[in-house]
Chains A and B, each alone.
Chain A
Amino acid sequence: MKVLIVGSGKTLYFLSRNFSARGYQVVIINRNPEECIQLSRQLTATVVCGDGSDDDILKDAGAMGADAVLAITPNDQDNLVICQLASRKFSVPRTMALANDPDNAEVFEKLGVSGFSTTHIVGSLIEQRASLEQITNLLPVGEGRVNVTEIVLTGDSPVVGKLLKDIDLPENALVAVVIRDKKPIIPRGATVMLAGDRVVLITLPENHGPVLKAFTGERL
């Protein structure tokens, strides 16, 4: 697979290094001659110095035979034009443009270029992690071979309203206690899970993730 990356800085460097390590053929386009020299010393990638939205430079970089073009410059307008030229003039099958302004991710999509915003991605990662705060008291027992975890069920949990026996739990997991209105209940198959319940789970490390997912509905 041949990937053409237009951009600069650490993101470009580490992406190129990763792709090269996976055996992709990487071609970099960068405007800064000094950075180009550095990149060509540090990486096995081919480095072309110039403006990636100039079609002569794209041609020099071999855009014609590229499988993908990735435009990650700090300027949204450049990323858009690079991808449009690559797909229209050089028939590159896959192009992706970084939207520095998160609003532009949607703009790019509407203009027919697939766009992504690191602000969106990082933001949603942080939200995901933060929302996992409902999971507490992660306590390893027996030299870490058993976990005791407490989860607070939110309204959007997939188990809310279900009987315990109807919850599709992975093997070797136990709902030990449900604390409802500060009163502990030892649940039975006919116990209904309610929003706001604090559920104490006993899991093994190998099924810990899937069990949490069954209760929170979130990917861990």
Chain B
Amino acid sequence: MKNNRYIVIVGCGRLGSHLANHLSRSGNSVVVIDKNEPTFKDLSPDFSGFRVHGDATQMAVLKEAKVNQADILIATTHEDNVNLMVAQVAQGIFRVPHVLARVFDPKRMEVYAQLGIDTICPTSVAAEMFLQAVANGAAGRRGANP
């Protein structure tokens, strides 16, 4: 895997800052966009990327972050609709080759999958893991008391 890609991360919350720190440390050029400036404090001291303060649903802000040059855009804000809009704009208008959006609402995810937007749904992922853990736990107990 190449580690010198240009990656735009929208939202600098717990997930966004974690991804930004990680991807920056492994040698990528990272730009983080967030509309609340104080969230940038979650970036680690060795984060070598850029910070753009602004609302990513505005074209001007995406242009400032040079989204047109990005290899990857990841939309991680806590608002599904922001992530979906930014992902579509990045893919449809700025022609970013790889776009990922976090979407909490599994029902909304289906529609955007049809539109060709790659989404990750933390709700579904967590549910799956819980179910698996429950299944394993149950299996384990059955194993202990045959």
> What residues of chain A have their CB less than 8 Å away from a CB belonging to chain B?
53-56, 75-78, 80-81, 84-85, 88-89, 101, 103-104, 107, 110-111
Contacts and interface: CB of A to CB of B under 8 A. Distances in A.
A84 B79 CA distance: 16
B48 interface: no
B111 A76 contact: no
B89 A111 contact: yes
B31 to A, nearest CB: 20
Q: Would you call the interface of chain A mostly helix, strand, loop, or mixed?
A: helix
B59 A104 contact: yes
B116 to A, nearest CB: 12
B97 interface: no
B55 to A, nearest CB: 8
Contacts of A88: 111, 114-115
Contacts of B86: 77
A81 B58 contact: no
B84 A81 contact: yes
Give the most central of B57, B81, B82, B108: most A CB within 10 Å: B81
A85 B105 CA distance: 13
B41 interface: no
A107 B105 CA distance: 24
Majority secondary structure, B binding face: helix
A104 B59 CA distance: 7
B60 interface: yes
A110 B86 CA distance: 13
A95 to B, nearest CB: 13
A110 B111 contact: no
Contact of B92 (A54, A55, A101, A110): A110
B108 A85 contact: yes
B83 to A, nearest CB: 8
B69 to A, nearest CB: 19
A77 B55 CA distance: 11
Contact of A75 (B59, B81, B92, B93): B81
B79 A77 contact: yes
A76 B108 contact: no
Given A101-B57, A103-B60, A104-B59, A81 B81 contact: yes
B81 A80 contact: yes
